[in-house]
Structure 1
Amino acid sequence: MDQTFEKRKKIIYEFICDDMYVPMKLKELAILLQVPKEQRSELKAVMDALEAEGKVHVSQKGKYLKGVGRTLRGVYQAHPRGFGFVTIEGETDDIFIPEKETNGALHGDTVEILLTASPEGKRKEGKIVKITERGTAKIVGLYQVAKGKHYGFVIPDNQRFLQDIFVPEERAKGAVDGHKVVVELTSYGSDNAKPEGKIVEILGHVNDPGVDIMSIVKSYDLPVEFPEKVMNQAERVPEEVSDADMAGRKDLREWVMVTIDGEDAKDLDDAVSLTRTEDGKNWILGVHIADVANYVQERSALDREALHRGTSVYLADRVIPMLPHRLSNGICSLNAGVDRLAMSCIMTVDAKGDVIDHEICESVIRVNERMSYTSVKKILEDHDEEETTRYIDLVPMFEEMEQLAGILRNRRHQRGSIDFDFPESKIMLDEEGHPMEIHSYDRNVATKIIEDFMLLANETVAEEYYWREIPFVYRVHETPDEDKIKKLAILINNFGYSLHISDEVRPGQIQKLLAKIQGTPQETMISRLALRSMKQARYTPENDGHFGLAARYYTHFTSPIRRYPDLQIHRIIKDDLRGRMNEKKMEHYQTILPEVTRQASETERRAEEAERETIRLKKAEYMEAHIGEVFEGVISGITNWGIYVELSNTIEGLVHVANMYDDHYDYYEDRYEMVGEHTGKTYKLGETVYVRVIDADCLTRTIDFEMADEGDMEDGEE
C-alpha cells in the first residue's frame, strides 16, 4: 500500500473528526485543504477509500460526514424495485438500503452496513460496505437462448434477483429455450458485468405439469428425495407393534378414541378420547400422540435427515414429508383398528376448563374410528341423520367434546388469547396440476375441537417440564415491540378506535381491539396490521411464554410425524419417564437444544414461505383463465399505488392507479381512502366493488384488476 496515500487518509480523517469540522462537498473540501485542481482526483480516491472503510459517509446532498459508529452485520433482503433492507439480529426494525448503496449485494447475502441516517420516527438508513458471505449459490429460473449467439441467460424466478445470469453455451447442459433450470453461480458480477453461471439441473419445460411447483421447491432448497441410507433404515422399521415394544406401557386399547383429520390426511399423529369421572363432575380428556421417537433414534440417519428437514412441507400439489412414508403413513400413523405406540397426556378437566390433574405417559392404543372434520361437523352442526346413525355409538362423546371445547375456548378468551381468524385458501387441482377451483377453507366445530384439545395438551406438557427444571423445547411468542404497537395505535385512531398502552402491551388489549372491529369494513386490514405488529413465534430452550395465546407455558407436543421439535421433546419426556434423565443427559440436552431450536425455527420459516409462494402461484394461474371476467369483491387495502380487492374465494388483486381511468385519484393516508380529484368519487376500506381481471402473471405471482360495474357481472362469477 502506498504510504503517502495512507498518510493522506489519516490526515483527512483526523480533519473530519475535528469538532470544528462542518460537513462539506468534495469541491469545498479541496478548496479548504488547498488541493490543486489536477490533484482532486487523488482526493476523491482518498475519500472513496475512507467511505469504503466506514470512516466517512456521504449525505444525499453529497457532503462528507464522519461515519456513524461501528458497522452492523445482517442479512440483505432485496426488493424487486432495486432497493432493499438489512435484517439485524436483535434489532426490531430493518435498515433501509437505497439502490445506489447496495454495493453489489444480492438477496440473502450476509453483509456489513454503515448507518447513514437515523431520522426520528422514521426507518433507519444505511449503506452496504462489505459482503461477508454470499447467501445464494444456486438460482432457479427460465433459460432463454440469445438469438444467433452461443450463449443464453437465466431469468430468475425470484423477482428479488434483479439481474439475468449469463450462461455460456458449453455450460448450458443441453438446456433449450423455455426450460426451467437450476443455475449455479460462478461469478456474482460487478457494476460492468452480469453474474455468470452454469446450469446444473434441468427441471423441464416451463409448460410441463408440476414444473412450476418443482421450481419453487428448488428455489427454497427443499430436500425432496430421501438419501439411500435413510430409506434403508426406514425399510427395517417393523410394520406392526411388537410385544416387546408394548412392555411397560399404559395399556389404553380398551379406551374409546378417535382421530379427527381432513379427508385426504394420511399421517394421523393425534387421537383424542373423552369420558366423565365417576362422580360426573369432571372430564378425563386424553390426547394421544404417535410415539415417533420409539422408531427414530437420536443420531440415526433417520433422525439426522428429520432434523435437516425440520418439518413436513404442504404445497399445493404435493407433500414433502419430514419422515419417509413407511413411517409417516405406516407404523407411526394412528390408523384405526390396529395397535399403535403413543405418548399420552391424560388430563382431568373441571367445569371451568382448568386442568386439576394430569398424567403424561408412554402408552399403547387402538383407535376406534378414523373420523373426518366434515363428518363430525355433519353430526354436531348439521345434525345429519345418516351420519349420526352411522356413528351412533360415538355421538355422545362428540357432544361432550363440543361442550368441553367451548369451555376451553372461553377460558382462553377470558385470559386474553388472541384469535386471528383469517380464511385459508383451499385449492383444487386437476391431474396435471392446474387449479380448477379455489375457495376459503373455514374452521368448523370439528377443527375447533381438535385445536382446543391440542392447545390444552401443549400447555399442560410445557408447564409440567418447566417446573421440573428439565431442559426442554418451548414454543414462544414474545411481547410485541412497543414502537410497533404505538404505530398501530396511531393508525387505528384514524378509524375511531383506540388501543390503550400501559407499561406493557397485553394480549387482552389486542383481543379487545379485534372484537371491536369484528364485522366492520376495516376488520380485515386492521387485523392484518395487528398481526404484522407482532413478533414471529419461534422455538427456544427458554420459556418466555406465548403472547398470542396469553399462555405462560407453551410447547409443541402434538405433531412429531411432521415437526422435529415435537419429536425432540418426546425423547426428553421418554428419558425422564424411564429414569434416564441424569446429570449427563441434562448436559447433553442443554448442549444440543440451542442449535435444534434454531434449525427448527429456520426450516419452519422456509416451509411457510414456500407454501405461501405455491398458493400465490396457483391463484395467478387460476385467474389467467378468467381474464376479462368481472367479480364482486371487497376493498381489503388502499395504498398510494392502488386499491387491493379481495374476492370471496380469497384471491386478492390490485387495481393500480394507472388503471383507474375515470379520474385522477389521490390517496389520503390518514383516512385510508382514494378520492377522485374531479369527480370526488371515494373508495373506502371494506367497500364492495366490482372488478374486471385484466392480467395475471405466474412469474411475479400477481393479479391485476380494473374497476367495473355490477351490470358487467353476467359474464363473470360471483
Structure 2
Amino acid sequence: MARRIDTKAGEPALPTREAILAFIAESTDKVGKREIAQAFGLKGADKIGLKRILREIEDEGLVESGRGGLAKAGRLPPVVMADIRSRDRHGDFLAFPVEWDGAGKAPTIVLASPRGPKRSNRPAPGIGDRALIRVEPEEGSAERYTGRVVKVIGKNKAEIIGVYRAGAQGGRIVPVEKRAQGREILIPPGEEGEARDGDLVSVTLERETRSGLPRGRVRERLGSLGSEKAVSLIALHLHGIPHVFSQATLAEADAVTPAGLKGREDWRERPLLTIDPPDAKDHDDAVMAEPDPDPGNPGGFVLTVAIADVAAYVRPGSNLDREALERGNSVYFPDRVVPMLPERISNDLCSLREGEDRPALAVRMTVSADGTKRRHTFHRVMMRSRAKLSYVQAQAAIDGHADEATRPLLETALRPLWAAYAALRTARDRRGPLSLDLPERKVLLTPEGSVDRVIVPDRLDAHRLIEEFMIQANVAAAETLEAAGQPLIYRVHDEPALEKMRVLGEVLASVGIKLPKEGALRPALFNRILGSVAETEHAVFINEVVLRSQAQAVYAAENLGHFGLNLRRYAHFTSPIRRYADLIVHRALVTAGRLGTDGLPPETTGGDLARIGEQISAAERRAMAAERETVDRLIAGHLADRVGATFEGQISGVTRSGLFIKLDETGADGFVPISQLGADYFRHEEGRHALVGERSGETFRLGDRVEVRLVEAAPVAGALRFELLSEGRTRTGARGGAGRKPGGKGAGGAPFRAAPSGRPPGIRSTGTRHRGSRR
C-alpha cells in the first residue's frame, strides 16, 4: 500500500500526492476519483480530502482530466477517440487522437494486428475509421503509444486531402500531410469525380483491412495546384478553415450604412494617426499622446488609443456575427489573408483610413512620468485619422530622416508619442514581462506566388511603441469591465506547470545552470536565466527550451492573469476586425459604459462566454498550424531545386526517431532520421533533449550548430529531409572537428516527419507583429 500522510486534526489519513500521481501514471485502466479511493481504501469523509488533493494537482498542471478520467499531464488518457489514418511498414494501423491539447504534434498510436481468430461480434477496424482506443505509452517514449480498439465509432469518418495523379486505370492520391507521406490512396476508375491530374482534392476512404493500398473516392475537387494561391489552399482545406462567406453574410455587409455622429463624441480634429506594416489593408487602431496639463502630474502624459468600432456594424445574432464566431480570427498567409469579416466591413467601414470619418471606441489613459497609470476612461467617438504611417516611416522620422508625410507631424504628434513610450517603457521594465529573444522570419513572395526570399525584419522602437500602447489599452479594458461586474472574455496565460518546470530544470542542469527550487514563479526568474546565456553558445537553445516550458495562452471567462506579460488581468480589445474575442470585449464595454444599445445581449452568461472562449481558442490554434504549415510548403518548394546543397543550421527538435534541423538561411525545418547518424545505437534522453550514442557517447542536443546536406524536398507536404555532415559532442562536451561520413541506411527510404514547432499555442517570441500577436 502507498505511503499515507496525516492531515489536519480530526481529518482521516490520506495518500500522499506523490502516491496518487504514481498510481495515475502506472494505471492502464480508466482512473477517476472512485478508482483512486478504492485503490487506497478511502471511505466517507476521506473522499473530501481526496477531492481537494486532486483539484490541487490538476490546477498545478500535474494531471489532466478528460472523458477517460485522469491522466498524467502531457499524456493521453487511458482511452481516447482517434482516427485510423494509415499503416506502418509492418502493416499495423496508425491512429491519431481526434483531440490533442499537449505541446507539439499529436502522438502516434500503433494498433497491433490482431492475433488469433477474429471475433465475429466486433467489426474489424480499417483506414478511415474513427474508433475508441485503449492506449498504453511505449516504454521510454512520449510520442508513441500502443493501442487496442475498444469500439469502432464511425466507418470512414476520416477525410484525406491530397493531390490527384491520373493513371490509365483510375488514379492515385498523394496525401499532403507529412505524417501520411509514402502512403498513397488508390482511386478506382469512375471514382475520380471531376478531378484532373494535379488537382487538390478531398477523398473519402473505403474500409480497408488487408495489405495493399487503401481505396478511396474523390469527394470534392478543391482547386488546381497550378493556381497562384494553391499552397494556402492546402492549409485551408486540411484544417477546415472557413474561407468563403455565405451570400447572406455578404448581402448583410453590403446593406450596412455608415455610422453617424449621433451618440458619439466628436474627435475628428484630434491628431490621431495609424502606424502599421507597409502592406496593411485595414487599420483598426490609431494612437496619440500629449503632455498632461495637470500640474499635479508633472512630466506625465495623456495617451489615447482609438479602436475601430466593429460592434456598431456586427450585431449579436446576425449572419456577420455567426460567421465571425465560426472563423474566430483572421488567418494570415504569405500569399493571402482569410479575413474574419467581409471586406466591406474590415477594409472599408471599420478601417481607420486617413482623412475619412470613422466610428471608434477609444480609451484615454493618464500616466505619470515613470509610466504608472493614474486613471483611464472609455469613449465612443467619431474620429478622422491624421495620417497613415508605416513602422519604418515613423521610425525614420524620429531618427532624423522625415519625409513629406512625417515632417509636419514630427513635433506635434510623433515626438510626443515617443516621449510617452519612454515613460511606458520604464514601467514595463519595472513590471518585468517574459523577454524571449526568438525573432520570427517573414517570407516574401514574387508576383507569381513563389518564394523570393526569407528575411528577419528589424525590430524597431516603432513596433515596441504600438505594442506597449495596445497592452495598456487591453489592461484598461479588463479593469473597467471587472470594476463594473460585467462578464468578459479574458486573455489568460497560466504559469508553467510543475512537470514542465522539472523538465526545464534538468535541461538547464545539463549546461551548468541551476534552477531555484523555492520562491514564487515569476517571469523575472526566466529573464535572469536568459540574461545569463545571452552571449553564449547556449543562447538560442535556452530561449527555445524556456519557450517550450510555457503554458499556452487562451481565451477564458475566468481570470487566471497573464504570466508572460506579468499582468493580473488582461483582455484583448485592440483588434476587433481580426479577433472575435476583441469584439466581445467591445460589446461588454458598450454595455458597461451605457454607450449604446448594441452591446452584449442581456441574457449573456458567464457560461456562454466560457464556451465562446473555448471555441475561439481552438480556432486560434487551427490558424497558427495552418500558417506555419503554409510557410513550410512554400520554403520546401523554394528549396526543391537545391537538393544536394549544404546548409548551416541548428538542431531545433530531438525525438526518438531523429533530429529536426532549422536552417539559418530560410528558417526551414527538416528531418534527419536516426538511422543516418551512424553505426552506434543512439538513445533518446528526453530530459536533456538529446540523442546519445550508447558506445561512443556522441551526443546531439537541442540547439547544437550543425551542417547538413539536403537529400529530398516534398513541397506539397512541406517536408525536407537532410543528411547530417557534422559530428556530435564527445563525452567531454566538445564538438567533433571533422565532418562525418553518412552512416546507417544512407539517404534513401526514410519517411518524412512533421516538425514540432515546440511553441505553446498562443504565445510567441518578441519578434512577432502586434497585429497578429497571440500574447
Aligned twin of 1:97: 109
Name the aligned partner's letter for residue 529 of structure 1: V
Aligned twin of 1:318: 336
Q: Deviation string for 1:121-143 (max 9, x for gaps)?
A: 97895634234468955321022
| d(CA) in 2 for partners of 1:88, 1:680 | 38
Name the aligned partner's letter for residue 650 of structure 1: G
- Does the aligned pair in 2 maintain the 1:459–1:554 contact within 8 Å? yes
Report % sequence identity: 32
The CA deviation at 1:324 is 0.8
| d(CA) in 2 for partners of 1:510, 1:184 | 48
Which residue of the other structure, out of 174, 197, 203, is the alignment partner of 2:194? Answer: 174
Which residue of the other structure, out of 332, 353, 358, is the alignment partner of 1:340? Answer: 358
| d(CA) in 1 for partners of 2:497, 2:700 | 32
Q: Deviation string for 1:548-585 (max 9, x for gaps)?
A: 11111011100000111111121121122227899995
Q: Any residues of structure 2 matched to 1:449-488 within 5 Å, and which?
A: 449-488=465-504
| d(CA) in 2 for partners of 1:687, 1:114 | 38
Aligned twin of 1:219: 238
Which residue of the other structure, out of 710, 714, 717, is the alignment partner of 1:700? Answer: 717
| d(CA) in 2 for partners of 1:325, 1:568 | 20
- What SS does the corresponding residue of 1:588 show, helix, strand or coil? coil
**Structure 1 residue ranges without an equivalent (≥5):** 1-53, 55-69, 713-718
The CA deviation at 1:250 is 2.1
Segment of structure 1 superposing worse, 695-704 or 604-613: 695-704
| d(CA) in 1 for partners of 2:222, 2:142 | 44
- Does the aligned pair in 2 maintain the 1:418–1:549 contact within 8 Å? yes
Aligned twin of 1:516: 532
Larger radius of gyration between Structure 1 and Structure 2: 1
Q: Does 1:229 align with 2:214?
A: no
| Aligned CA distance change for structure 1 residues 589 and 249 (closer, same or farther; 3 Å) | farther
| d(CA) in 2 for partners of 1:362, 1:309 | 27
- What SS does the corresponding residue of 2:403 show, helix, strand or coil? helix
Q: Does 1:157 align with 2:173?
A: no
| d(CA) in 2 for partners of 1:677, 1:143 | 44
Q: Deviation string for 1:431-459 (max 9, x for gaps)?
A: 22111111123321111111111011111
- Does the aligned pair in 1 maintain the 2:84–2:126 contact within 8 Å? no
- Does the aligned pair in 1 maintain the 2:709–2:724 contact within 8 Å? yes
TM-score (norm 2): 0.73
Q: Deviation string for 1:589-642 (max 9, x for gaps)?
A: 435312221221111111111100111111111112333444444555566624
Q: Any residues of structure 2 matched to 1:301-312 within 5 Å, and which?
A: 301-312=319-330
- What SS does the corresponding residue of 2:631 show, helix, strand or coil? helix
Q: Any residues of structure 2 matched to 1:10-409 within 5 Å, and which?
A: 72-74=79-81, 86=97, 97-100=109-112, 104=125, 112-114=132-134, 116=136, 127=147, 128-132=149-153, 137-147=158-168, 149=169, 151-161=170-180, 163-185=183-205, 187-191=206-210, 196-238=215-257, 240-241=258-259, 245-278=260-293, 279=295, 280-380=298-398, 383-387=399-403, 390-395=406-411, 397-409=413-425
- Does the aligned pair in 1 maintain the 2:591–2:600 contact within 8 Å? no
- Does the aligned pair in 2 maintain the 1:635–1:686 contact within 8 Å? yes
Name the aligned partner's letter for residue 558 of structure 1: T
The CA deviation at 1:293 is 0.7
| d(CA) in 2 for partners of 1:274, 1:483 | 44
Tell me the matched-pair count: 634
| d(CA) in 1 for partners of 2:571, 2:472 | 10
Q: Deviation string for 1:495-516 (max 9, x for gaps)?
A: 0112223376333322322222
- Does the aligned pair in 2 maintain the 1:113–1:126 contact within 8 Å? no
| d(CA) in 2 for partners of 1:468, 1:442 | 41
| d(CA) in 1 for partners of 2:84, 2:537 | 33
Aligned twin of 1:647: 664
- Does the aligned pair in 1 maintain the 2:494–2:553 contact within 8 Å? yes
| d(CA) in 1 for partners of 2:242, 2:599 | 36
The CA deviation at 1:184 is 3.4
| Aligned CA distance change for structure 1 residues 637 and 594 (closer, same or farther; 3 Å) | closer
Aligned twin of 2:427: 411
- Does the aligned pair in 1 maintain the 2:302–2:365 contact within 8 Å? yes
- Does the aligned pair in 1 maintain the 2:489–2:581 contact within 8 Å? yes
Name the aligned partner's letter for residue 165 of structure 2: Q
The CA deviation at 1:314 is 0.6
| d(CA) in 1 for partners of 2:141, 2:431 | 33
Segment of structure 1 superposing worse, 641-650 or 351-360: 641-650
| Aligned CA distance change for structure 1 residues 627 and 76 (closer, same or farther; 3 Å) | same
| Aligned CA distance change for structure 1 residues 649 and 403 (closer, same or farther; 3 Å) | farther
Segment of structure 1 superposing worse, 256-265 or 594-603: 594-603
Aligned twin of 2:438: 422
- Does the aligned pair in 2 maintain the 1:476–1:554 contact within 8 Å? yes
| Aligned CA distance change for structure 1 residues 586 and 485 (closer, same or farther; 3 Å) | farther
| Aligned CA distance change for structure 1 residues 437 and 198 (closer, same or farther; 3 Å) | same
- What SS does the corresponding residue of 2:717 show, helix, strand or coil? coil
Comparing both chains, which one has the higher relative contact order based on Cα–Cα distances under 8 Å and sequence gaps of 6 or more?
2
| Aligned CA distance change for structure 1 residues 686 and 357 (closer, same or farther; 3 Å) | same
Aligned twin of 1:441: 457
- What SS does the corresponding residue of 1:364 show, helix, strand or coil? strand
Q: What is the root-mean-square deviation of aligned Cα atoms in Å?
A: 3.9
Which residue of the other structure, out of 493, 506, 515, is the alignment partner of 1:490? Answer: 506
| Aligned CA distance change for structure 1 residues 121 and 605 (closer, same or farther; 3 Å) | closer
Name the aligned partner's letter for residue 372 of structure 1: S
| Aligned CA distance change for structure 1 residues 223 and 347 (closer, same or farther; 3 Å) | same
More helix by share: 1
Q: Deviation string for 1:191-244 (max 9, x for gaps)?
A: 568654432332344444332321221111222221111111111123x54xxx
Segment of structure 1 superposing worse, 417-426 or 111-120: 111-120
- Does the aligned pair in 1 maintain the 2:649–2:664 contact within 8 Å? yes
Segment of structure 1 superposing worse, 419-428 or 577-586: 577-586
Name the aligned partner's letter for residue 177 of structure 1: D
- Does the aligned pair in 2 maintain the 1:287–1:453 contact within 8 Å? yes
- Does the aligned pair in 2 maintain the 1:216–1:610 contact within 8 Å? yes
| d(CA) in 2 for partners of 1:451, 1:79 | 45
| Aligned CA distance change for structure 1 residues 135 and 320 (closer, same or farther; 3 Å) | farther
| d(CA) in 1 for partners of 2:661, 2:100 | 32
